[in-house]
A = this chain, B = another copy of it.
Amino acid sequence: MTKDGGEEMAATSADVARHAGLSRATVSQVLNGHAHRFAPETAQRVLRAAEELGYEPSVAGRMLRRGSSDFVIALIPHTTFGTNLQDIFDTVTDVLAQRGLTLVLRLSAASSTTLDRLLAGMQPRAVLSLQPFSEAERRILDERGVPGFDTTTDGDLNADIGRLQAQHLVARGYRRLAFAHLRDSRQDPYGASREEAVAQVCAAAGLPAPTVLGLGINLDDATQALDALAPGYGVACYNDDVAITLLTAAGQRGWNVPTDLGLIGMDNIPLSGVTAPRLTTIEYELSAVAQNVLAIALQALGQDDAPTPPPIDLRIVAGGTA
């Protein structure tokens, strides 16, 4: 960890130039995709020298010169995901890396001052978010001139989710619907959109407006939530944790699922395959969402070889609970 501890100083473009017997300008040009302006043999010399020295350009120098960095920031929602973050962002990381861009994650929330500082400091090319930007976030992005892309840029995914849950319940014959939020609203960034979509489906089907529930992941809360219902309800749940908790509470109360109570979850977490009966839920690739946001971002940034946004398909996982 000491400077003289054995590791060589990182090579600079000047080192590469010297090693190759050329100027820094030439090194820079060749390494930035303008090799064709030079004699092939010159380009080779540069490449070899860079290789031999393990040269990595300094982000600082580049940033200073260009006024913007090669970073792309992804804001992580304040939620527990069923999926690994890794699985979600793997492809995004790769796609960006192919373009010389580096993905860096940042917890959303925190103070907006922090975001402001981060933008000022990193001067990222873009900010991606898996949940809608808040008003404050949007304003800061605009002020700093950093383009931001979220899940609402390309239609409202969460409305689709709520709609699909509700339509499934209606198709299964439930005439009274409810939407069950996760009580801690910090963890429920998507709930509002989904609840509203459920209400719309009800209205369209000529059903009464949905009952709105909120619970934490424990049996007391779940039991109380059931008190607000009568047998015959179909419940669209914020996520599988909520659905499994309601399933357990219903069992203790002697309500039969799916006869007395319909339950549809969201996420298809591993444990939803282990309940009895298996949970009916919705599955989708969060990684597709991330790639979708990314693709739209790259298009907007004018990358000519931007990937086409993959479709986000929501699939019903047929279980025994609705």
User: Which residues of A pack against B, CB within 8 Å?
Assistant: 1-3, 5-8, 10, 56-61, 63-64, 69-70, 76, 78-86, 89-90, 93, 97, 102, 104-107, 109-110, 114, 116-118, 120-123, 142-145, 147, 186-187, 216-219, 222, 241, 244-245, 248, 270-271, 273-276
Collect the chain B residues with CB atoms within 8 Å of residue A82's CB. 80
* 8 tightest A-B CB contacts, nearest first: A217-B270, A56-B120, A60-B63, A59-B121, A105-B105, A60-B64, A78-B86, A7-B145
Q: Known A61-B64, A145-B7, A274-B217; judge A79-B84 contact (CB<8 A).
A: yes
CA distance A222 to B85 in the complex (A): 25
**A120:B86 contact, CB within 8 angstroms:** no
Q: Is the CB of A274 within 8 A of B80?
A: no
Q: Which of B78, B105, B118 contacts A107 (CB 8 A)?
A: B105
Bound-state Cα–Cα, A244 to B270, Å: 11
A108 nearest CB neighbor, chain B only? B86
The residue that A121 contacts in the complex, of B2, B102, B143, B186, with Cβ under 8 A, is B102
Give the shortest distance, in Å, between A240 (CB) and chain B (any CB): 9
Q: Could you name 11 residue pairs across A and B whose Cβ atoms are closer than 8 Å?
A: A7-B145, A56-B116, A56-B121, A58-B64, A61-B64, A76-B85, A89-B107, A97-B114, A102-B118, A104-B104, A248-B275
The smallest C-beta distance from A14 to any residue of chain B, in angstroms, reads: 14
- Chain B residue numbers with a CB within 8 Å of A57 are 120-121
Q: Which residue of B lies closest to A245 (CB)?
A: B274
The answer on a CB contact under 8 Å between A107 and B85 is yes
Closest-by-CB residue of B relative to A65 is: B60
The minimal Cβ–Cβ distance linking A66 to chain B, given in whole angstroms, is 9
CB atoms of B93 and A144 under 8 A apart: no
On whether A93 and B64 interact (CB within 8 A), knowing A7-B144, A85-B76, A276-B248, the answer reads: no
Cα separation A248 to B80 with both chains bound (whole Å): 23
Contacts of A216 in B (CB 8 A): 270
Residues on B with C-beta less than 8 A from A142 are: 1, 5-7
Contact indicator B274/A219 (Cβ below 8 Å): yes
Residue of B nearest to A6 (CB): B142
Q: Are A273 and B104 in contact (CB under 8 A)?
A: no
Give every chain B residue within 8 A of A143 (Cβ-Cβ): 7-8
Q: Smallest CB–CB gap between A67 and chain B, Å?
A: 9
Instruction: Please state if A123 and B60 are interface contacts (CB–CB under 8 Å).
Output: yes
